[in-house]
């Protein structure tokens, strides 16, 4: 918007904001007009956040007015240049409305009736029946990783702490890490992406597979930090993923299949009800008979 027009709108909006909501709904103050379309002050006041400053309100109102004017001009230009057939959108609107209410109805049925509980046995059965679908596309590990400032690191102590993976030992390691380490990752129960872990290393790992095969405990250094990674377990690319690593994915797959079947059953039940209650008829196109 040109500056002089922006300033003009700013002065108008400022005046309207000062007036507040003095004008009644039946005597609303116009703010802008394009053809026979009018934008009123009440529409501006509705979009302004409560407790916003006068300056912010003016900026928001100006932006709203500018967008409204551009939209109305575009609508006007389209209306002038499209044929009556092109402007007839009744069929599209009806199709959109029908799709929307069906979508909302199905979603409401899903919320009310779909069983979302997936048992452990269901997950295990799905996993065993679809093993080939769960080959890994990356390496995953169970590991312990610490990054400690060199002047604070005690490598012998750190290695001793890492070796003890009992509940008490891990608690002691966490306490040590919270005191001295810059970064601590303790994943002895959960699988994690090795690629994410190795981003913390001071050197690039060119072959994750070789690294994991050759190292159970790896120490690294740079000018500032001492690094230690202990690989507790690993799975390589193309290995079958552990069930606990893909458990959530399997649950979502089961629920999605359950939802598809649920909706298909709903459609069939509604169709059967329509037949039983004689709610529709299909005509023979050639004889125009039922």
Instruction: Write the pLDDT tens digit of every residue in 104-143.
Output: 999 999 999 999 999 999 999 999 999 999 999 999 999 9
Buried b (16+ CB within 10 A) or exposed e, 63-84: ebbeebbeebeeeeeeeeeeee
Residue 15, domain extent: 3-81
How many domains are contained in the chain? 3
pLDDT of residue 17: 53
CA distance 3 to 9: 10
- Asked if residue 103 is part of any domain, the answer here is yes
Residues 19 and 96 in one domain: no
Residues 150 and 221 in one domain: yes
Choose between 149 and 7: higher pLDDT.
149
**Lowest mean per-residue pLDDT among 17-21, 83-87, 280-284:** 17-21
Residues 66 and 98 in one domain: no
- Asked if residue 35 is part of any domain, the answer here is yes
- Asked if residue 246 is part of any domain, the answer here is no
pLDDT of residue 81: 95
**What's the chain's Rg over C-alpha atoms?**
33
Residues 230 and 140 in one domain: yes
- Asked if residue 242 is part of any domain, the answer here is no
pLDDT of residue 54: 86
Residues 52 and 18 in one domain: yes
- Asked if residue 120 is part of any domain, the answer here is yes
- Asked if residue 241 is part of any domain, the answer here is no
Model confidence at 286, in pLDDT bands (50, 70, 90)?
Answer: low
pLDDT reading at 159 higher than 90? yes
Residues 130 and 150 in one domain: no
pLDDT reading at 288 higher than 70? no
The encoded tokens of residue 199 equal 């981003």
Buried b (16+ CB within 10 A) or exposed e, 122-156: ebeebbeeeeeebebeebbbbbbbbbbeeeebeee
Which uninterrupted H or E stretch holds 203?
none
Residues 131 and 256 in one domain: yes
**Lowest mean per-residue pLDDT among 10-19, 195-204, 220-229:** 10-19
Residues 30 and 120 in one domain: no
Residues 259 and 127 in one domain: yes
Residues 149 and 127 in one domain: no
- Asked if residue 244 is part of any domain, the answer here is no
pLDDT of residue 26: 46
Question: How much is the average pLDDT of 43-58?
Answer: 88
pLDDT reading at 22 higher than 70? no
pLDDT reading at 10 higher than 60? no
Instruction: Write the pLDDT tens digit of every residue in 229-280.
Output: 999 999 999 999 999 999 999 999 999 999 999 999 999 999 999 999 999 9
CA distance 259 to 254: 9
- Asked if residue 25 is part of any domain, the answer here is yes
CA distance 164 to 157: 11
pLDDT of residue 284: 76
pLDDT of residue 243: 97
End residue of a domain, out of 63, 81, 99 = 81
pLDDT of residue 175: 96
Model confidence at 73, in pLDDT bands (50, 70, 90)?
Answer: very high
Contact 134, 237 (CB under 8 A): no
| Residue in 143, 147, 154 with CA at minimum distance from that of residue 221 | 147
Residues 41 and 106 in one domain: no
Mean pLDDT of all residues in the chain? 90
pLDDT of residue 7: 46
Residues 163 and 228 in one domain: yes
pLDDT of residue 13: 55
End residue of a domain, out of 56, 81, 106 = 81
């Amino acid at each position: 918007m040109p500056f002089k027009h922006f300033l003009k709108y700013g002065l108008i909006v400022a005046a309207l904001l000062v007036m507040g909501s003095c004008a009644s709904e039946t005597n609303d103050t116009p703010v802008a007009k394009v053809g026979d379309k009018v934008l009123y002050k009440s529409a501006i006041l509705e979009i302004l956040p409560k407790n916003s400053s006068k300056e912010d309100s003016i900026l928001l109102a100006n932006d709203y007015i500018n967008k409204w004017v551009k939209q109305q001009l575009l609508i006007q230009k389209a209306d002038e240049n499209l044929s009556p057939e092109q402007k007839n959108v009744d069929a599209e609107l009806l199709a959109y409305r029908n799709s929307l209410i069906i979508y909302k109805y199905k979603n409401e049925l899903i919320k009310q009736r779909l069983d979302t509980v997936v048992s452990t046995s269901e997950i295990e059965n799905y996993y065993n029946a679809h093993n080939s679908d769960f080959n890994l596309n990356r390496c995953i590990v169970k590991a312990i990783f610490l990054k400690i400032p060199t002047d604070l690191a005690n490598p012998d102590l750190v290695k001793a702490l890492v070796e003890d993976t009992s509940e008490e030992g891990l608690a002691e390691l966490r306490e040590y890490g919270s005191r001295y380490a810059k970064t601590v990752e303790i994943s002895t129960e959960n699988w994690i992406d090795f690629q994410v872990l190795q981003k913390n290393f001071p050197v690039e790992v060119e072959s994750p597979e070789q690294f994991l095969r050759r190292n159970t405990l790896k120490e690294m250094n740079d000018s500032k930090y001492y690094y230690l990674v202990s690989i507790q377990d690993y799975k390589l690319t193309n290995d079958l993923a552990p069930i606990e690593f893909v458990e959530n994915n399997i649950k979502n797959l089961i629920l999605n299949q359950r939802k598809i079947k649920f909706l298909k059953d709903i459609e069939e039940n509604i169709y059967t009800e329509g037949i039983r209650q004689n709610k529709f008829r299909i005509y023979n196109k050639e004889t125009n008979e039922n």
